[in-house]
Amino acid sequence: MITKIHQMNTLARLFLVLVTATFFACSEEEMPSPTPIPDVTPPDPMEEPGLPPLKDEASFLVGMTVATDKLDNPRNVEIMRRDFSSLTGEWQMKMNIMYPSQGTYNFGPADEIVDFAEANNINMHGHALIWHSSTPSWVENFAGSDQEFEDMIKDYITTVVTRYKGRVASWDVVNEALSDDPGHPLRETVFSRRLGPDYVRKCHQWARDADPDVILFYNDYNIAGIQSKRQAAFDLVDDLGDLVDGLGAQMHVRVDWPSRSSIQEFVDGTVARGLKVHLSELDVRTNIEDDASLSQLSDAKAEEQKNKYKEIVEVFNAIPEENQYALTVWGLRDNESWLLDFWGVPEWPLLYNEDYDYKPAYEGFLEGLQ
Ligand code: G3I
pLDDT at 48 over 60: no
For residue 109, how far is its CA from the centre of ligand 1 (angstroms)?
A: 13
Report yes or no: 305 and 255 within 8 Å, Cβ to Cβ.
yes
Catalytic residue check, 176: yes
Alpha helical stretches, state H, the chain: 2-25, 54-57, 68-71, 74-83, 95-98, 108-119, 137-140, 146-163, 190-195, 199-210, 227-240, 260-272, 299-317, 339-343, 360-368
CA distance 89 to 207: 18
Looking at the CA of residue 341, tell me the nearest atom of ligand 1: 21
pLDDT at 340 over 50: yes
CA angle (84, 62, 312) in 5-degree steps: 140
pLDDT at 99 over 70: yes
Q: Choose the weakest-confidence range: 5-9, 48-52, 246-250, 296-300.
A: 5-9
Report yes or no: 126 and 219 within 8 Å, Cβ to Cβ.
no
SS3 368: helix
- The span from the first CA to the last CA of the chain, in angstroms, equals 14
Report yes or no: 333 and 356 within 8 Å, Cβ to Cβ.
yes
pLDDT at 14 over 50: no
Q: Say how many CA atoms lie within 13 Å of 339 toward its Cβ.
A: 26
pLDDT at 151 over 80: yes
Looking at the CA of residue 250, tell me the nearest atom of ligand 1: 39
Among 90, 140, 329, which is best to mutate for testing ligand 1, by the most ligand atoms less than 8 A from CB? 90
* CA distance to 172, 208, 330, 353, per residue, from 64 (Å): 15, 25, 6, 15
For residue 340, how far is its CA from the centre of ligand 1 (angstroms)?
A: 13
Mean pLDDT of 54-83: 97
CA-closest residue to ligand 1 atom 10: 91
Among 72, 129, 180, 338, which is best to mutate for testing ligand 1, by the most ligand atoms less than 8 A from CB? 338
Catalytic residue check, 112: no
Instruction: Please provide the average confidence, as pLDDT, over all residues in the chain.
Output: 90
Mean pLDDT of 323-335: 98
Q: Given this model, what pLDDT does residue 44 score?
A: 52
Closest CA to 294 of 226, 232, 345, 250: 345
For residue 78, how far is its CA from the centre of ligand 1 (angstroms)?
A: 23
For residue 342, how far is its CA from the centre of ligand 1 (angstroms)?
A: 11
CA distance 360 to 358: 7
Report yes or no: 283 and 253 within 8 Å, Cβ to Cβ.
yes
* CA distance to 155, 168, 215, per residue, from 208 (Å): 13, 13, 9
Which string of DSSP letters, residue by residue, matches 110-178?
HHHHHHHHHHTT-EEEE--SEEGGG--HHHHT--S-HHHHHHHHHHHHHHHHHHTTTTS-EEEEEES-B
Mean pLDDT of 87-104: 98
Q: Given this model, what pLDDT does residue 50 score?
A: 85
SS3 347: coil
pLDDT cut 70: percent of the chain above it:
86
Ligand 1 is surrounded, with C-beta below 6 A, by 90-91, 94, 96, 134, 175, 250, 281, 338
Among 68, 69, 70, 91, which is best to mutate for testing ligand 1, by the most ligand atoms less than 8 A from CB? 91
Report yes or no: 64 and 89 within 8 Å, Cβ to Cβ.
no
Mean pLDDT of 314-333: 98
Per-residue model confidence as pLDDT tens digits over 249-291: 999 999 999 999 999 999 999 999 999 999 999 999 999 866 7
Looking at the CA of residue 94, tell me the nearest atom of ligand 1: 28
Closest CA to 177 of 250, 275, 105: 250
pLDDT at 43 over 90: no
CA distance 188 to 193: 7
pLDDT at 28 over 50: no
Report yes or no: 171 and 214 within 8 Å, Cβ to Cβ.
yes
pLDDT band at 362 (very low <50, low <70, confident <90, very high): very high
For residue 313, how far is its CA from the centre of ligand 1 (angstroms)?
A: 26
Burial of 261 (0-12, 13-18, 19+ CB in 10 A): exposed
User: Which one of the listed residues 90, 112, 265, 281 is annotated catalytic?
Assistant: 281
Q: Given this model, what pLDDT does residue 137 score?
A: 98
Q: Choose the weakest-confidence range: 25-29, 124-128, 173-177, 356-360.
A: 25-29
Q: Given this model, what pLDDT does residue 49 score?
A: 58
pLDDT at 15 over 70: no
Rg of the chain in Å (alpha carbons) = 23
pLDDT band at 213 (very low <50, low <70, confident <90, very high): very high
